[in-house]
Amino acid sequence: MIQEKGKILDMKLQKVLSVLVILLLFGVESMHAVAQDGNAEAGAQKNAMCQGCHGIPGFRTAYPTVYTVPKLGGQNALYLANALRAYKSGGRTHPGMRAIASALSDQDIADLAAYYSENKKIIVSTEKGTE
Amino acid sequence: MNHIKQSFGFVVILVLAFGPPLVNAQSEEELVGIPAKAQEVCAACHGLDGNKSMTPDTPKIGGQASDYLAEALEQYKNGMRNHPIMGAMAAGLTSQDIQELSNYFASQTSQLFSKY
């Protein structure tokens, strides 16, 4: 009985391990897009379209639904780049973001992702604001 | 490719649902008050406080705006936002789960900030 339990546990462990391996492979696969090197300083010159919403602590988007825009500062660069690419391709549907992302080149996206992921506060928000 | 990703998401959710708990570094006391699904589902990739991304394409969610997090989860659930893993995770959440989880992660310490 105990032996059987141990066996089941072993099988479970094997399953978890194999999924982790798959996850790693996928993780690597999904990282290919990061090959494009972003330049944070260049990104800082390209973010005029971002500032009006994402630069204001607690700013809420009004359309199509009302909610606080996400904080981007300090976010993972690859996530940010993927988000912009998804807006551009239609995988993410916010109309305002789609319009903005459509105008960005791959290099723009990489630069903006580098700029926002950088843990350097250009303007420090003093409000807590968004919770 | 999409097909593979979808079935992959399915496998992940199965393992998360029925596999052993992935968060075991915390003592029982430290886990009091943390929504069960945050521990069982979200923490595996986002970290228990939403600040430990398991892969570089996983966003930090600790301290992110709660209504944004809720909106994102609703969109994953209803298919407006496409992600094989998050779609599978959000499919199992009720509106109340989404509120609880969003409030919980929004209230964590944050590495995120509004950047001009």
| CATH number of the domain encompassing residue A102 | 1.10.760.10
Whether the predicted pLDDT of A92 surpasses 60: yes
Q: Is the minimum CB–CB distance between B79 and chain A shorter than 8 Å?
A: no
User: Residue A73: beta bridge partners?
Assistant: B113
Domain that holds residue A1: 1-35
Bigger pLDDT: B2 vs A125? B2
Predicted local distance difference test score (pLDDT) of residue B26: 67
- B45-87 pLDDT, tens digit per residue, is 999 999 999 999 999 999 999 999 999 999 999 999 999 999 9
Residues 6 or more apart whose Cβ sits within 8 Å of residue B24: none
Answer yes or no: do A52 and A4 share one domain: no
Q: Which of A61-65, A88-92, B6-10, B98-102 has the lowest mean pLDDT?
A: B6-10
Question: Which of B14-18, B23-27, B31-35, B81-85 tops mean pLDDT?
Answer: B81-85
Interface of B with A in 26-65 (CB under 8 A): 53, 55-60, 63-65
The pair phi, psi for residue A48, each rounded to 5°, is -55, -35
Predicted local distance difference test score (pLDDT) of residue A10: 65
Answer yes or no: do A50 and A104 share one domain: yes
Answer yes or no: do A50 and A89 share one domain: yes
- Provide the residue count of chain A: 131
Residues 6 or more apart whose Cβ sits within 8 Å of residue B26: B48
Please tell me what DSSP assigns to residue A104: -
pLDDT confidence band for B2 (50 / 70 / 90): low
Indicate yes or no: CB of B68 within 8 angstroms of CB of A68.
yes
pLDDT confidence band for B31 (50 / 70 / 90): confident
What's the mean pLDDT in A31-54?
A: 85
Answer yes or no: do A15 and A43 share one domain: no
Q: Which of A64-68, A125-129, B21-25 has the lowest mean pLDDT?
A: A125-129
Bigger pLDDT: B31 vs B14? B31
Answer yes or no: do A120 and A61 share one domain: yes
Of B12, B67, B113, Cβ closest to residue A71 = B113
Answer yes or no: do A116 and A60 share one domain: yes
What's the mean pLDDT in A112-118?
A: 97
Answer yes or no: do A44 and A30 share one domain: no
Answer yes or no: do A71 and A123 share one domain: yes
Answer yes or no: do A122 and A81 share one domain: yes
Answer yes or no: do A47 and A87 share one domain: yes
Whether the predicted pLDDT of A129 surpasses 70: no
Number of domains in chain A: 2
CB pairs under 8 A between A and B: 122
The pair phi, psi for residue A68, each rounded to 5°, is -70, 135
Of B12, B20, B65, Cβ closest to residue A70 = B65
Residue of A16, A24, A25, A68 to mutate when probing chain B, most B C-beta within 10 A: A68
Please state, for a pLDDT cut of 70, what percent of chain B lies above it.
Answer: 79
Answer yes or no: do A49 and A86 share one domain: yes
- What's the sign of the alpha-carbon dihedral A26, A22, B81, B59? negative
Question: pTM of the entire structure?
Answer: 0.73
What's the mean pLDDT in A75-87?
A: 97
Answer yes or no: do A31 and A45 share one domain: no
